[in-house]
Amino acid sequence: MGLAVVIFIILNTYPLFVMHNLIVNTKRDRLISSASFIASTLSMSESLTADKVKLVMGIHNIGENQRVVITNRAALSVYDTSKIDSTVGKYLILPDTATALKGLNFFTSKYDDGALKSNAAVPIMIRDSVLGTVYIHEADAEQARILSSLRVSMLWLSLFVCAFLVMLNLILTRALTQRLNKLLKAIRNIRDGSYGQSIPLDGHDELTTISDEFNEMSNRLKHVEELRRAFVADASHELRTPLSGIKLLTDSVLQTNDIDIATAREFMRDIAAEIDRLTRIAEKLLILTKLDSGNLPGLEPVSLSETVLNTINLLKPIAEEAKIELRCELEEDCWIIGDRDGARQIVSNLVDNAIKYNNPGGFVNVFLFKREDNCILLVDDNGIGIPKKDYERVFERFYRVDKARARSGKGGSGLGLPIVKKHVLSFGGTISVEPSAHGGTRFKVEFPKYDKNSDK
């Protein structure tokens, strides 16, 4: 709107101002040169008498819209082309003639009564002294008409331009508002929990870029929401299984009359086992939630050699009970950047699985060594193995190769390997699974090596 006003003002002033100046300048040049020409013809006489001037003026062509007055050096009019209000014999005391009598040219021009009225006065010089003045008055209705029709044209033109600008502004604003409304609607839908909204905006402007980014964000939110729902559903399912077990066992105890102490103990042992399982799941869920929140403990140099050795010593009794031989070959001084607890969880989950998913009489080999810039941990067993198709899936939350294993009491919750992977990635490492040369499974973890001596 502001732009329209500025254009309106400019169109109605500048071209008119330029045109007016052009006309006035041309007029000044013409009138001054006409007056100067008359003055030069009159300067040939020694004195300006009415007769002499009349004679000389006979050779000049005076325009219809012009009036010429000649005065002598005392400003007394000696000649006037106007017959109606002739000034002859009167003193012409005007600024025009006063200036001319000082030896200078004079010119003024103004609009009055539908005409461009111009006055020009020049001195009649004879040898450096002023003999008299030539005064020309012209009323030019033609030029005034041109200027006023230009003024009207400019007014219409500027009105047209302003109307066009206002219309254009309305159309553009409407289009922009419509696009913004689409964006706003999608944002509100997302706010209300309907993720995966996409805005179909055409074009190549900033708004299209924003809508593309929005669509990308919306798809990610949808994906995160789906993961969250699946996680909550899986978590509740996992928690429900041991809870149903406990309920079943307690109901059995309550409904059996005269239960003997040995049977009651048996039931209690089973209930305690289910509670242990619940506790393990809850602990692992807590660890995963912490890892997901990104609220990780500060990383520091950790001796992997020491952590692996300590963890294996703790797991030895479990291996013995399962009749699994647990062997290890550890290179000293394997340092990584990580956190002690996380490193312990990595080793204990991998070795515990290798013991758990094994057969009595089987073995688990743990190797730790440095190679180039890495510390490599291998956990190799000759146990029941993992089908090739499940290699990638075992790192998914709650994924178990055989769900029946969990119910048989052998398996866990399917949260161990996801925790391991999260820790490994947060230490900047990688983890992979492959078949063991001995028929079981081999997990390989590579950590960036920390050089303790150079303290880098």
Q: Least Å distance between CB 403 and ligand ADP?
A: 8
Which residues 6+ apart lie within 8 Å of 73 measured at CB?
A: 48, 101, 129, 130, 131, 132
**Strands across the sheet with 441-448, in order?**
325-330, 363-371, 374-381, 441-448, 430-435
362 near ligand ADP, rule: CB under 6 A: no
197 belongs to the binding site for ligand ADP (CB under 6 A): no
70 forms part of the interface with ligand ADP (CB under 6 A)? no
Per CB under 6 A, does 179 bind ligand ADP? no
Site membership for ligand ADP, residue 447 (CB under 6 A):
no
Contact call for residues 195 and 221 (beta carbons, < 8 A): yes
Tokens matching residue 216: 């990308």
Tell me the window of 17-25, 108-116, 142-150, 400-408 that interacts with ligand ADP (CB under 6 A).
Answer: 400-408
Nearest in space to 400 (alpha carbons), one of 384, 420, 417, 388: 417
Q: Using the rule CB under 6 A, which residue among 96, 138, 274, 381 binds ligand ADP?
A: 381
Q: Which is nearer to ligand ADP, 134 or 350 (CB)?
A: 350
CB 441: neighbour CB atoms within 10 A? 24
Alpha carbon distances (Å) from 111 to 4, 31, 46, 62, 126: 29, 16, 38, 22, 35
Q: Is 144 in the site for ligand ADP (CB under 6 A)?
A: no
- Residue 43 touching ligand ADP (CB under 6 A): no
Parallel, antiparallel or unpaired: strands 363-371 and 325-330: parallel
Of these, 302, 383, 422, 427, which contacts ligand ADP (CB under 6 A)? 383
Least distance to ligand ADP, CB of residue 400, Å: 3
In terms of CB distance, is 121 or 355 closer to ligand ADP? 355
For the four alpha carbons of 45, 47, 52 and 58, in that order, the dihedral sign comes to positive
> Least CB distance from residue 326 to ligand ADP, whole Å?
13
Regarding 414 and contact with ligand ADP (CB under 6 A), the answer is yes
Per the listing, tokens 């073995």 go with 363
Minimum distance from residue 401 beta carbon to ligand ADP (Å): 3
Is residue 107 a contact residue for ligand ADP (CB under 6 A)?
Answer: no
Helix-then-strand count for the chain, H and E: 10, 12
Tell me how far CA of residue 432 lies from CA of 121, 318, 349, 424, in angstroms.
Answer: 107, 25, 14, 11
The one-character DSSP state at 296 is: P
Q: Which of 66, 197, 303, 413 binds ligand ADP (CB under 6 A)?
A: 413
Q: Which of 416, 422, 423, 447 binds ligand ADP (CB under 6 A)?
A: 416
Q: Which is nearer to ligand ADP, 87 or 413 (CB)?
A: 413
Tell me whether residue 154 or residue 415 sits nearer to ligand ADP (CB atom).
415
Take residue 317 and report the two structure tokens written for it. Answer: 């009794």
Q: Is 347 in the site for ligand ADP (CB under 6 A)?
A: no
Indicate which single residue of 97, 353, 365, 382 sits in contact with ligand ADP (rule: CB under 6 A): 353
Query: Does 394 help bind ligand ADP (rule: CB under 6 A)?
Result: yes
Orientation of helix 2-42 relative to helix 50-57, angle to 10°: 120
Please identify, using beta-carbon distances, which residue of 223 and 407 lies nearer to ligand ADP. 407
> Which of 11, 285, 354, 445 is the binder for ligand ADP (CB under 6 A)?
354
SS3 136: strand
318 binds ligand ADP (CB under 6 A): no
Q: Is 384 in the site for ligand ADP (CB under 6 A)?
A: yes
Contacts of 187 (CB under 8 A, 6+ apart): 214
Where do we find the tokens 């003193």? Answer: 91
Q: Which of residues 426-445 bind ligand ADP (CB under 6 A)?
A: 441
Residues that bind ligand ADP (CB under 6 A): 349, 353-354, 357, 381, 383-386, 394, 399-402, 405, 411-417, 441
